[in-house]
Amino acid sequence: MSIFGIAKKGFGMLKKSKSKTSPTITSVKANKLDKMSKHKVDLAKIPGQTANRWKKSFDDADRIGAKVRQLTQKIKGEKKTKSGISKGKDLKD
């Protein structure tokens, strides 16, 4: 066998061999049976729950404020709007 044949055979072996590495770990789920893991999962949920609670209270305040403004429009005899804010063209002179 010539030198080129040996080199060709060697390169062929290199091509065929595949590296055997483990796959990349992208995420790990918490063990819900472990006390510390359960605590960490509960702590991670708190910011979302707090945001939802604040959002709900602001939505309620907006809705109540609109009702009060609509009642004020009714008492003044102005045209009732959804927001309760009188438009310039509807105001009485």
3-53 pLDDT per residue, tens: 766 666 666 665 555 567 778 888 877 666 777 777 887 888 888 888 888
In degrees rounded to 5, what are phi and psi of residue 42? -65, -40
What CA–CA distance (Å, rounded) separates 20 from 10?
A: 20
Query: Is a pLDDT exceeding 80 seen at residue 81?
Result: yes
The structure's pTM equals 0.40
Tokens of 78: 């102005």
Question: Residues near 1 by Cβ (< 8 Å), separated by ≥ 6?
Answer: 9
